[in-house]
Amino acid sequence: MTPPLDLAPSAPGAPRREKSSGGVKFYLTTPLYYVNSKPHIGHSYTNIAADALARFRRLEDREVLFLTGTDEHGQKVDKAAVQAGRVPKEFTDQMSLSFKDLWKTLNISYDDFIRTTETRHKNSVCRVWIELQKKGDIYTATYKGYYCTPCETFLTDEMVRQQVAAGQAIVCPDCKRPAEAIEESNFFFKLSKYQGWLTERIEKGDEMCILPQTRRNEMLGFLRVNKLEDLCISRPKNRLAWGIESPLSTEHVTYVWFDALINYISACGYGDDKAGDRFKKWWPADVHIIGKDILRHHAIYWPILLHALGLKLPKLIFAHGWWVQGGQKMSKSLGNVTDPVEIVRHYGVDSFRYFLLSETPFGEDGTFSEEALISRFNTDLANDLGNLLHRTLTMCEKYFGGEIPAGVSKKSGSVLRNHVNVLVPVLVPLMNKLAFSEALSEIWSLINEANKFIETSAPWTLSKQGKTEELKKVIVPLMEVLKAAAQSVWPFMPNTGEAIWGQLGIKEKLWETPFKKDMWGFFEKGGKVSKGAPLFPRIEVEKK
């Protein structure tokens, strides 16, 4: 098996336009990743999807704030640090870097990376405590109940009641480990008070939308059947010191989930008196991209907390599915992690990005396998896109010495021309609902039409017959298609987009060239190609 040619990486630090475009703002976030273990394929999936959306929005001339980061407090981190023989801060510094390294490897163009141990975040969390207390939405109570230490959650009364009724030992419903009986004084947030309000919001979908629809229905079902209990938002320091101290008590730190959710507002300046209009400019978020396992925190706790603070709700919460291998969720705790760095080393970063976003509709579960990745690579990347580029440029060199004929574009290519001009208008609504696989198949339908156009117009025959004018009307339209393809695949495969762009001899930077209303006609003034090595040499799999 030959590994694919390594593409030249983009300019360091994820290139983008130097000045903000002044276009309509777009604020998107990923979850903050918990640093108790190293990043795996699930984290990669979320950030690759977010990156594709962020880059697409930038090409639409939107002003983008793309936020990711790390969640660094809580018992699990505290324990992992002890096991690693480190103090928590040292441990989280190191783990946080392993996420940053992966984002570099995967070409993730985030604008801000927030760590919950940063001062800006701690200040916001304190402001939230104080605001909620002013509103009368926080109270203290002695809590007697069962607690799962690994999951850092209390069991609900209902969970305990069911297990007692069944005569079982009390275990955590998530991890099945024994739960501890504890009694302590804590702060509670009045979640229950807002249940009716939230149910109505989700039913109406007027302020906040949850996608896919099945996830929205799941949340509504949950709210209709269960009575929300108030949320315990503190932990006693004597049990856990690694957290953000509550401004209301020196004996308590903030519950890690409560702390983590607040990052979405702390990153854009909530509670920072020096931030000026920054918060007003960016909030509410346009989309929170999350995995389906943390939907309840985002679709129930978070909107209620925002509402209690008098803030707007995020416009969209999108919960994506999981990648499974052998039918089990891939995560560290199950010990079947597929290391994203290894995959990239073998197959290249763009093949990995392309596979994850094209193989399965975003929102559904997918099955990851090397065979499936190789098959996509050979079919879509090597055969369809790679061949279109390589043979078009080869013909341009052979027939026109690499010069793209001028004055031809605007009077040629009727079918391809329509297809190119409607491409972005077709992609926009798909990207609005994060339908990445559908967007990619739209781009591929253009690529395949261009490949068919080569077959039906048989440029080699035109060349033999000396029909130069007709030959120009075959080659130039193909250049227009390749330019449109380079630009529209760039959000998904940045290196590939830039490599095609370079081979087409385009001098402007791709990331500084927003989509135009009519894409066709770029090569009206001609140009000069500079053909490179094939981008996607086929992967030959040895037969066993």
Binding region for Zn ion (CB under 5 A): 148, 150-151, 172, 174-175
Least distance (Å) from Zn ion to the CB of residue 180? 11
Closer to Zn ion by Cβ: residue 6 or 158: 158
Q: Which of 238, 231, 250, 258 is nearest to 73 (CA)?
A: 258
User: In angstroms, what is the minimal distance from the CB of 14 to Zn ion?
Assistant: 37
Closest to Zn ion by CB, 136 or 178: 178
| Between 48 and 295, CB nearer to Zn ion | 295
Q: Which of 103, 14, 11 is nearest to 58 (CA)?
A: 14
Distance CA 222, CA 361 (A): 25
Neighbours of 100 (CB within 10 A): 16
Q: What's the rounded Cα separation, in Å, for the pair 184 and 186? A: 6
Residue with smaller CB distance to Zn ion, 130 or 170: 170
When the beta carbons of 22 and 335 are compared against Zn ion, the nearer one is: 335
Q: Cα torsion at 123, 282, 508, 7 (round to 10°)? A: 60
Least distance (Å) between residue 241 CB and Zn ion: 21
Environment class of 166 (CB within 10 Å of its CB; exposed 0-12, middle 13-18, buried 19+): exposed
Q: How far is the CB of 156 from Zn ion (least distance, A)?
A: 13
- Compute the least distance from the CB of residue 178 to Zn ion, in Å: 9
Q: At 329, which helix (H) or strand (E)? A: strand 328-329
Q: Rounded to the nearest 5 degrees, what angle is found at the Cα of 203, between the Cα atoms of 202 and 204? A: 90
Min dist CB 542 to Zn ion, Å, is 45
What are the backbone dihedrals phi and psi of residue 26, each rounded to the nearest 5 degrees, phi first? Answer: -140, 115
Alpha-carbon Rg of the chain, whole angstroms?
Answer: 27
Least distance (Å) from Zn ion to the CB of residue 171?
A: 8
Cβ 146 vs Cβ 177: under 8 Å: no
Min dist CB 31 to Zn ion, Å, is 19
Tell me whether residue 150 or residue 537 sits nearer to Zn ion (CB atom).
150
Which contiguous run of DSSP H or E holds residue 414?
A: helix 414-432
Name every residue whose Cβ is closer than 8 Å to that of residue 259 and which is 6 or more positions away in sequence. Answer: 71, 73, 116, 121, 125, 243, 244
Give the CA distances from residue 182 to residues 77, 250, 352, in Å, rounded to whole numbers and listed in that order. Answer: 21, 20, 46
Q: Is 336 helix (H, G, I), strand (E, B) or coil?
A: coil
Closer CB to Zn ion, 148 or 519, in the complex: 148
How many CB atoms lie under 10 A from the CB of residue 498? 22
Closest CA to 361 of 295, 429, 430: 430
479 CA to centre of own chain:
31
Closer to Zn ion by Cβ: residue 260 or 416: 260
Name the residue among 100, 107, 137, 155 with its Cα closest to residue 495.
Answer: 107
Beta strands 328-329 and 366-367 are unpaired
Q: How far is the CB of 151 from Zn ion (least distance, A)?
A: 3
Distance in angstroms between the alpha carbons of the first and the last residue of the chain: 12
CA distance linking residue 255 with residue 74, whole number of Å: 7
Look up residue 29 and give its DSSP letter: E
CB of 325 to Zn ion, least distance (A): 23
Q: Which CB sits closer to Zn ion, 150 or 247?
A: 150
For Zn ion, give the closer residue by CB, 32 or 155: 155
Please state, in angstroms and rounded to a whole number, the distance separating the CA atoms of residues 208 and 202. 7
User: Minimal distance in Å, beta carbon 172 to Zn ion?
Assistant: 3
**Which alpha helices (DSSP H) does 106-147 contain, by range?**
119-134
Nearer Cβ to Zn ion, position 333 or 379? Answer: 333
Residue (of 53, 54, 64) closest to 26 by Cα position: 64
500, β-bridge pairs: none
Nearer to Zn ion, 75 or 412 (CB): 75
Which of residues 159 and 324 has its CB atom nearest to Zn ion in the complex? 159
Minimum distance of Zn ion from residue 9's CB (angstroms)? 41
Q: How far is the CB of 297 from Zn ion (least distance, A)?
A: 15
